Structure 1
Amino acid sequence: MKTSYSPSAIYVTRLDYTRLMELVRQPHPETAADLVATLERELTRAHLVDSYDILPDVVTMNSRIKLRDLHSLDELEITLVYPSAADPARHRISILSPVAVAVLGARLGDQVWWPSPEGQANYWVEAILHQPEAAGDWVS
């Protein structure tokens, strides 16, 4: 079962790829199996780019982005983080969530969708408010 969808081409830094593949290989609860498998599929199809070469309009780990609902025009502002840093009250969303898997590697203006309790959520990437690589906030 595919739990989220991203644009046809996604871009992931080599550093994020390495860290995320380590995360995928860790034991996870059975309830997270589909989402972990979807993340792994997304990673295996990603175009890998060095951190210093990633374009500033690509959603990377620890990016803060604004999403716009395609139907209601509601907005959603989130930061993609690793599970240990997740804090939904501060809009810090774990990469092991449908929305985070859907937006990882997407570019500004891309449409993304994922399942939600209300049905399929359809958004577009309206803004990248902070991308660590563009700001020089990354570790090699």
Structure 2
Amino acid sequence: MVISSAAAILDKPYVSDLRRELGNATTVARLEVPGDVITINTSVRLRDLDPSKTETLTLVDPEETCVAEGKLSILSLLGAELLGRRVGEIVTLKVCRRELSKRIEKVTFQPERVGAFNLQRVAIFTPLTMSDLDCPCRFESTGD
């Protein structure tokens, strides 16, 4: 039996955790979202704690994911962990039997802060199709 990539993503434990978190979330009016909270279409600067280096990413819908442009799906392991977090928090991920820790240093853009509500998408958990996963930007394995 072949399992589609979309189904494989939606079956990841962290996606279930994200759904549970969203189910327990408090709804806040867009104008009341604090400026240091990570929402969809927010650009954020992260610092790896070991080794120390920074990167800037934007959380996006799965169909907008493009690693080369720094666009990270909210359904990825890191994206799901960042959604709803605040500046100063540390997220720790288990990847390939090791832990990666990143500190949220700065929200460099947040749609709610500048009134760019046209960037917001309401349906986060719309069923994915294979075309949603197509992107010319792909992770390349480095053998690490």
Give the aligned partner of residue 24 of structure 2: 45
Cα deviation for residue 115 of structure 1 reads 2.1
CA distance in 2, matches of 1:67, 1:129: 11
Q: Which amino acid aligns with 1:114?
A: L
Cα deviation for residue 63 of structure 1 reads 0.2
* Larger Rg belongs to: 2
**Which of 112, 129, 137 is residue 133 of structure 1 equivalent to?**
112
TM value normalised by structure 1: 0.74
CA distance in 2, matches of 1:116, 1:100: 14
Question: What is the DSSP-based 3-state SS (H/G/I as helix, E as strand, rest coil) of the residue aligned with 1:62?
Answer: coil
Percent identity among equivalent residues?
Answer: 30
Q: Which amino acid aligns with 1:68?
A: R
TM value normalised by structure 2: 0.72
8 Å contact kept, 2:89–2:104: yes
Question: What is the DSSP-based 3-state SS (H/G/I as helix, E as strand, rest coil) of the residue aligned with 2:23?
Answer: helix
Count residues with an aligned counterpart.
113
Change (3 A) 1:53 1:31: closer
CA distance in 2, matches of 1:47, 1:112: 21
Q: Which amino acid aligns with 1:62?
A: N
* Structure 1 gap segments, 5+ residues each: 1-27
Change (3 A) 1:51 1:70: same
Change (3 A) 1:31 1:133: closer
Question: What is the DSSP-based 3-state SS (H/G/I as helix, E as strand, rest coil) of the residue aligned with 1:58?
Answer: coil
1:115 corresponds to 2:126: no
Give the aligned partner of residue 30 of structure 1: 8
Cα deviation for residue 32 of structure 1 reads 3.6
